[in-house]
A and B are shown apart, each in its own frame.
Chain A
Amino acid sequence: MNEWLTPIMWIGGIGAFCGGALALAAYYLSVPEDPRIEQVTNELPGANCGGCGFAGCADYAKALVENKTSPDRCPVASSAAVQAIGALLGKAVVASGRKVALVLCGGCNTEAIRHFSYNGITDCAAAAAIAGGDKACSFGCLGYGSCLRVCPVNCITMVDGVAKIDSSACIGCGKCVAACPRNLIQLVPEEAKIHVLCSSRDKGSVVRKVCGVGCIGCRICVKLSDGAISMDGFLAKVDYTKPPLTNEELVEKCPGKCIRKVG
């Protein structure tokens, strides 16, 4: 055999042998994947937001089929989709209901005082680092849009210096919750419409000085709400585990004008 044919033959032979072995192995040793994984993936919203704690919808679907988690972990899926997944997996599911993000501050520029003029970079964390932020209320929304820059569906807008979240577009992924340096954003049930739009833990007298729409801790709402609103220090808080509030009297009677109907 001549000196160029031999190497071609041998290397070609090794390649053909390896290729054949791999083809046979792939054919005979293949592991069938559970077809339900694909079906469940199709039912999920496909936003790949990571809100469930898994690396995307397909990963979550795999964990669901392998029975490692429960179908109500997805914050985006509608209750119908969650029920459909439950049916595919043969499980009874109590849908947790869609949750949307809400900014618990109503202190817009016309109501809340800014006690100095901030002209640094437009980022809430940066603004908060300089003398506690330009907003006189140390709990208020700074309005520099750290939340709207992380929103994957662009449903946050700045309205008069306060972030507003469009609850119909919000997918409830919770990225803005983590982005807010003042922890003003909370995931609340979509059905809940009446909220306390204030996060200030200051005393009523302090709140009054810096904001026209802050909670002054008067407790009127606690008496009217039948236990669905409770006091946490000087701040009224809605208990979202209870059925949603419907009593519009709360909105009318709040002297701080911080209880409002949203959406």
Chain B
Amino acid sequence: MEYVLLIIGAVLVNNFVLNRFLGICPFLGVSKQMSTAIGMSGAVIFVMGMAAAVTWCIQDWLLAPLNLEYLQTTAFILLIAAFVQLVDIVMKRFLPALHGALGIFLPLITTNCAVLGVAVMNVQNESSLGISVLFSVAAAVGFAFALIIFAGLREKIERANPPRAFRGVAIALVTAGLLSLSFMGFSGLVK
């Protein structure tokens, strides 16, 4: 039950994009088409899960014993960026099909604030390795959920005829605000 609540909390209640406002740049940047939104979502889920594991290890085995917690941000960014690049190279070599689907999105999320945010949050919550990875994947699923809903909305708006002043980014931002507002309705569902 605890895990279910953790997942619901991360996906709906404390949605990364719509409640915590992390990862806004890909949320606006790659939400013009459903196909790219799905690709990006897959890549984010993959990277966030992996990054959580890597950062947990570096935090618990290296930074904490050496009393270097204040270097958290630097170390995490360094590690996540290098790790994603490594995954990119390895995936291209051994899993070309997966690389074809996620490849172009991987470098985009190396220094994504959502990825870094989830790593920092795991440290703050002092969670174990398993819980960290579970929380990260759930948070990424929440991100994917928001991104895909938003891409669907934007595809519809693309064909609609908003007033000239609202066309393009303006109407996208208004839509994002309304979507965020509706997600606020989930607050209180899980403590």
Contacts and interface: CB of A to CB of B under 8 A. Distances in A.
Nearest to A20: B82
A14 B78 contact: yes
A29 B79 contact: no
Contact of B68 (A6, A18, A26, A29): A6
A18 B78 contact: yes
A141 B85 CA distance: 55
Nearest to A15: B78
B86 interface: yes
Interface in A1-52: 6-7, 10-11, 14-15, 18-19, 21-22, 25-26, 29-31
B68 A10 contact: yes
B90 interface: yes
Interface residues of A, number: 15
B82 to A, nearest CB: 3
B165 interface: no
B39 to A, nearest CB: 15
B90 A22 contact: no
B152 to A, nearest CB: 23
B86 A14 contact: no
Identify which of B62, B85, B92 gathers the most chain A CB atoms within 10 Å of its CB.
B85
A22 B86 contact: yes
Contacts of B62: 10
Interface in B44-73: 58, 62, 66, 68, 71
A11 B71 contact: yes
Given A6-B68, A10-B66, A11-B71, A25 B79 contact: no
B170 interface: no
Contacts of B74: 11
For chain B, what secondary structure do more than half of its interface residues adopt (helix, strand, loop), or is it mixed?
helix
A25 B71 contact: no
Given A11-B71, A31-B93, A22 B78 contact: no
B78 A25 contact: no
A25 B86 contact: yes
A22 B89 contact: yes
A130 B76 CA distance: 61
Instruction: Determine the interface band of chain B, counting residues with CB < 8 A from chain A.
Output: 10 to 19
B89 A14 contact: no
B99 to A, nearest CB: 9
A6 B66 contact: yes
Contacts of A6: 66, 68
Contacts of B82: 18-19, 21-22
B90 A14 contact: no
Nearest to B89: A25
B75 interface: yes
Contacts of B93: 29-31
Nearest to A3: B67
A26 B83 CA distance: 13
B104 to A, nearest CB: 11
Contacts of A11: 71, 74-75, 78
A51 B48 CA distance: 39
B85 A22 contact: yes
Q: Which of B71, B78, B86, B89 has the most CB of A within 10 A?
A: B89
Contact of B75 (A14, A21, A30, A31): A14
Contacts of B92: 29, 31
Contact of B79 (A7, A14, A26): A14
Contacts of B66: 6, 10
A7 B69 CA distance: 10
Closest 4 CB pairs of A and B: A18-B82, A29-B93, A25-B89, A29-B89
Given A6-B68, A7-B71, A18-B78, 9 more contacts: A10-B62, A11-B78, A14-B58, A14-B79, A18-B82, A18-B83, A19-B82, A25-B90, A31-B96
18 contacts: A6-B66, A7-B68, A7-B71, A10-B66, A10-B68, A14-B78, A14-B79, A15-B78, A18-B79, A18-B82, A19-B82, A22-B89, A25-B89, A26-B89, A29-B89, A30-B89, A31-B92, A31-B96
